[in-house]
Amino acid sequence: MSRRLAPWRERPSTLTYCRFFLMHMPDPVAILEKMYRWTRPGGVVAAQEFDFGSMTIEPICPSMTEFCRLFVGAFCGHGRNMRAGRQLPAQFEAANLGVPDGTRAEVKFIPLSGMAATLTGVYQGLFASAMELGIADDTRAEAFKTEVLEATADGR
């Protein structure tokens, strides 16, 4: 689905910002160029993206192996960019915005018990899409849910 927006007057904003958006766009540089056109001189263009290409689980457990399999399959199967976060500086340069002056990278170490609800929600949210791609089934989904609940309950 697409929608045409009414034209904006030239450079109306002091800040243009997107979060977890460029990873879904086929041409993120074109989006950054538009954001620049919408930003007043002296304003700020800001973007925040994940870098799923560095996602890893230690120690390996069946529920996280299944989560990653489904997540990567659905994400890549629909043409999404797993490495959007690490590509932002190059995209800013390609859009003639220069090197970002506020780049920040962060790593989080979170136990499964702290992520169980989020992981289950994301898995369920991707399930229908993954079914269409032929990479999901009810048996694996049930095993994932059971394993996450058990691992969370026993502290794995």
* pLDDT tens series, the chain, 156 aa: 445 655 666 668 899 999 999 999 999 999 999 999 989 888 999 999 988 877 777 778 888 889 999 999 998 999 999 999 999 999 999 999 988 887 777 777 888 888 889 999 999 999 999 999 999 999 999 999 999 988 888 877
How high is the pLDDT of residue 59?
78
Distance CA 100, CA 88 (A): 8
How high is the pLDDT of residue 70?
95
Query: Exposed, middle or buried: residue 138 (CB in 10 Å: 0-12, 13-18, 19+)?
Result: exposed
Q: DSSP letter at 99?
A: S
If we measure between CA atoms, which residue out of 40, 81, 95 comes closest to residue 16?
40
What is the value of pTM for the model shown? 0.75
Max intra-chain CA distance, the chain: 58
Other C-beta atoms closer than 10 Å to the C-beta of 67 total 22
